[in-house]
Structure 1
């Protein structure tokens, strides 16, 4: 096996291994009574609230697929909602295997089935992610406003600093800007190819400024994140103990889950543990908090697996003439 192949394999195995280890550690460190309580909470979860959470999840994914057209249309590409939706779901499924690979796959699928140049499709995805990141920061600000002292104390205890994420993003943007400046002056063959690719990427990213339906884009963005919070919030009614948790605590758990999901493949292992720790911090039992985390993570992951797998199957079938 070549060194390059080994590195790619390790990028998949290491995050997955961390997730599996955390699951094992969490369960093995619990007493038999605690494990029994955790399992009982999961078994007794009201399936109707889980189903409602899944409905909210599907609506958020549909809205994301619909919103995408507002970024593609300014560049002259009329794409089908079905293809956009299946590309989104296939991307989510890919992220379960290789973190952050879904964005590349999503752009590649639009190139394959809608003839949108990859660099332009990927540029729109970057703009989309930036809009989502702004929404996440707004929710962080709201959560801190509702539970300022307690949440900041929790961030300090867990060594979590959302400001680092913002600093990292600014640094990445600065590096990209410098890179574009260098490429812009390119005159050699290889750099000219990169320059052409970068031009398409920038065009895709700047499509957000050329939209005719800016308010529709903003409305869909707000709706997507409203559905994210709603699908998380309704799960609290599946655990009697957590059902009394105020919205501020649920929002704080949502934010912790959002940050933790990028640590391993799809948040496996980390997500329920992080949420359980948050609920413990606010005075709830570890078993109730982790049961909440497992139910929301398990149901939404199953949704992604089913819809993502169907998307991989149906995309070539529905586009066989392309």
Structure 2
């Protein structure tokens, strides 16, 4: 039953993605779209792909820095391979890539999945902060163009939330009562819980995850970590910007338009559908309309930018998967606490 629900969920997401793609394409003049695609300058596409490669290796190095704070030292190539396999998994099963890459790293280096996953949560938090910074900068530079877009995008949701505030207050009160009852029960039965095998495993898992989440505070070099963070996002920006020059319909756009595409495109890629297909294309096409770009040219840009980067991820991810499966695990004891060690930690 659980497997059937998973299949239905991902099938529904794929159907939503296909519908949005159809909606974005349905009113286009395909002759004009094909004319745009026939005039692609591949030099700029290749340059964008090279920037993507640089960003991925920089991300892998940054992840390696986080793992070192938890006393695990995987090689850069193993960290990179695990990350790229995770990216490919996200193209097939949204949100599963984070778990998959941690599982690959466990196989190659014996790093507990919970600790690695904690570092991924910290990484995602940093990415969210950087996206908010980019969003703020975009609003400062392009406020006039983007104001109406975002107001139209979120107005209905805001009105719906405003009308249901009383329901949210009731839900919040119920949640607080449940949390209180849960904590009270835990305190009353804590001595018995300390001897429960399942509880000990949960404690070990949570401790490892927290160790990963707080990895950023223990970095050997904060400046190097943040330098790589800025570099990664600068590469994301330039990857979006240089593709403008690959198409005649977008070659006139400025770098500020590239910043808008970075923000809107990131929101599209964050949608829980396979590879952001449909959502990314529709959002990017709509954004480019604000800059006077025709629907056909906007869709041509979205197709070229998204397809080229997706193919790069697939190629690099497949090679990384093969490498991680062929290469034997690195020497070193697997870092897993015994039951007695976990119980000692709980008692502490």
Q: Which structure 2 residue ranges, 5 or more long, are not aligned?
A: 159-171, 332-348
Alpha-carbon distance change, 220 to 11 in structure 1, aligned in 2, over 3 angstroms? same
SS at match of 1:147: helix
Q: How big is each residue's C-alpha offset from its partner over 1:147-180, in whole Å with a ceiling of 9 and x where there is no partner?
A: 11321211112238999xxxxxxx9xx99xx79x
The residue number in structure 1 matching 2:323 is: 314
2-side partners of 1:48 and 1:226: how far apart?
20
1-side partners of 2:328 and 2:156: how far apart?
45
Alpha-carbon distance change, 75 to 289 in structure 1, aligned in 2, over 3 angstroms? same
**Displacement of 1:214 after TM fit?**
1.0
Alpha-carbon distance change, 106 to 321 in structure 1, aligned in 2, over 3 angstroms? closer
2-side partners of 1:147 and 1:289: how far apart?
18
1-side partners of 2:210 and 2:55: how far apart?
27
The residue number in structure 2 matching 1:274 is: 283
The residue number in structure 2 matching 1:61 is: 56
Alpha-carbon distance change, 55 to 214 in structure 1, aligned in 2, over 3 angstroms? same
1-side partners of 2:109 and 2:270: how far apart?
29
8 Å contact kept, 1:256–1:274: yes
Larger Rg: 2
The residue number in structure 2 matching 1:25 is: 23
Which of residues 308, 315, 323 is equivalent to 1:299? 308
- Aligned positions, number: 305
The residue number in structure 2 matching 1:102 is: 97
The residue number in structure 2 matching 1:231 is: 239
1-side partners of 2:134 and 2:227: how far apart?
16
Structure 1 moving runs of 4+ over 3 Å = 160-163, 181-187
Q: How big is each residue's C-alpha offset from its partner over 1:72-97, in whole Å with a ceiling of 9 and x where there is no partner?
A: 11221111111111111111100011
1-side partners of 2:294 and 2:60: how far apart?
38
2-side partners of 1:39 and 1:270: how far apart?
21
1-side partners of 2:94 and 2:38: how far apart?
30
The residue number in structure 1 matching 2:260 is: 252
SS at match of 1:29: coil
2-side partners of 1:91 and 1:43: how far apart?
33
The residue number in structure 2 matching 1:82 is: 77
Q: Work out whether 1:205 is the aligned partner of 2:213.
A: yes
Q: Which structure 1 residue ranges, 5 or more long, are not aligned?
A: 164-170
The residue number in structure 1 matching 2:6 is: 8
**Displacement of 1:297 after TM fit?**
0.2
1-side partners of 2:156 and 2:298: how far apart?
22
8 Å contact kept, 2:57–2:80: yes
8 Å contact kept, 2:24–2:281: no
1-side partners of 2:5 and 2:21: how far apart?
24
1-side partners of 2:24 and 2:120: how far apart?
36
- Between 294-303 and 233-242, the greater mean CA deviation after superposition: 233-242
8 Å contact kept, 1:155–1:161: no
**Displacement of 1:191 after TM fit?**
2.8
8 Å contact kept, 1:22–1:270: yes
8 Å contact kept, 1:271–1:293: yes
The residue number in structure 1 matching 2:126 is: 131
8 Å contact kept, 1:184–1:195: no
The residue number in structure 1 matching 2:337 is: none
TM-score between the two structures when normalised by the length of structure 2:
0.82
